[in-house]
Amino acid sequence: MDFYAASCKAISMERKAAGKLEVLLNEHAQAALDNFSACFGVRIAYFRPDQTELQVGLKKSRCGYCAHLQEKLHGRRRCLQNDRQKLDEAFRHRVMIHYTCHGGLMEAICPVLLQQTLIGYVMVGQFRTGDVLPAHLRREARLKGGSVLQLQKAYQAVPKIPPGKVPAMLGLFSLLVKAIVSEGIAAVHGDLMVERILHEIRSRPEDPPTLAQAARLVGRSHSAVSHLFKAKLGRSFKSCIVDLRMDRAEELLRHEPGVTVKEVAGRLGFVDEFYFSRIFRQRKGLPPSKCLALASSLNPLPSLFDRDFRHGVMLAVKREEVAAVKQDGSGKQRIIGIRAMTGIPLAI
């Protein structure tokens, strides 16, 4: 398996081992959630794509007023159903939405999308914009024998945002989510960026992107890209480029008929054939000339007859299955090559 395939497989296995699309927020994203919550006094939380909570600003507990409503009036099911509907709506429209819930409180939800893939939601709320408990809730509390006074006190304990400041707060909330997407996603975002850069290098190994170009490709800094490669692949950005170029060189040497070492070096952007040979040997454990010789001697199983015209005589070259056999460490034998043998002249 070449370096590109091995790298992509390792990243894929890392995701698979997690069992689902896992999103990890780094300390900067957590700090952003904490600061937003501190400024406005509201609860702000990051949800995974499966709508389970991942992190909460200042680790604020859920709204006491909501707990009171669930216990005395509506039950928890109604709130959960409302949350699911609004989360689905935000994803369906792929924009931030805000609304007033059945308890008379405001909430806002913004889907977090990375390359059109849903990687979570950020939800802010609940908060109130007035001081008086909604009339329909007072009536419902009386009908069910509850205390309107207790419900009113719980309502007033909810953070209040004056109506005139709500648009500004929601605008800041939207910008915060964009910042989290560009700076705060660690695991998932990093994986996708590394894969995208590896694909770019592999698609043009003769002129691979510089670190600066790779950073621009994924919208990150030079240092961030270098750190990602070290963290995900255990090697530097420059070392990965060399590995991908040598993979391509080996592919050409093994599978392209008639190619020379000098030609392969030139096609991969190496001016000095001897420098290319030295790098190839360091990475692959053998010189490119030997790789080329091995490729010439080890042919795949051909069809029974090949035809050729020599001096007016058609030759049927019979492929006798004469195999080079090698024993591996376990004592088993394996075929490492098949060579063409006899030419039989046929009348034409």
Q: What is the CATH number of the domain that holds 137?
A: 3.30.450
**pTM score:** 0.52
Compute the half-sphere exposure of residue 264: CA atoms within 13 Å on the CB side of its CA.
27
Instruction: Indicate whether 33 and 181 sit together in one domain.
Output: yes
Structural domain including 48 reads 25-185
Domain count of the chain? 3
Residue 198 belongs to a domain: yes
Instruction: Indicate whether 47 and 144 sit together in one domain.
Output: yes
Instruction: Indicate whether 316 and 259 sit together in one domain.
Output: no
Instruction: Indicate whether 255 and 326 sit together in one domain.
Output: no
pLDDT digits (tens, 9 = 90+) for 152-181: 999 999 999 999 999 999 999 998 888 777
Residue 11 belongs to a domain: no
Q: For every residue of the chain, which 3-state class applies, written as one string? A: CCHHHHHHHHHHHHHHHHCCCCCCECHHHHHHHHHHHHHHCCCEEEECCCCCEEEEHHHCCCCHHHHHHHHHHHCHHHHHHHHHHHHHHHHHHCCCEEEECCCCCEEEEEEEEECCEEEEEEEEEEEECCCCCCHHHHHHHHHCCCCHHHHHHHHHCCCECCHHHHHHHHHHHHHHHHHHHHHHECHHHHHHHHHHHHHHHHHCCCCCCCHHHHHHHHCCCHHHHHHHHHHHHCCCHHHHHHHHHHHHHHHHHHHCCCCCHHHHHHHCCCCCHHHHHHHHHHHHCCCHHHHHHHHHHCECCCCCEEEEEECCEEEEEECCCEEEEEECCCCCEEEEEEECCCEEEECC
pLDDT > 90 fraction of the chain, expressed in percent and rounded? 34
**Which of the listed residues 256, 272, 297 is the one where a domain comes to its end?**
297
Residue 14 belongs to a domain: no
Residue 171 belongs to a domain: yes
Instruction: Indicate whether 278 and 310 sit together in one domain.
Output: no
Instruction: Indicate whether 175 and 198 sit together in one domain.
Output: no
Instruction: Indicate whether 329 and 265 sit together in one domain.
Output: no
Instruction: Indicate whether 254 and 281 sit together in one domain.
Output: yes
pLDDT, averaged per 10 consecutive residues of the chain (348 residues), comes to 67 53 65 90 88 86 85 81 90 92 93 76 92 89 85 92 95 87 55 80 90 85 88 90 93 90 94 95 92 72 36 36 42 40 36
Instruction: Indicate whether 47 and 160 sit together in one domain.
Output: yes
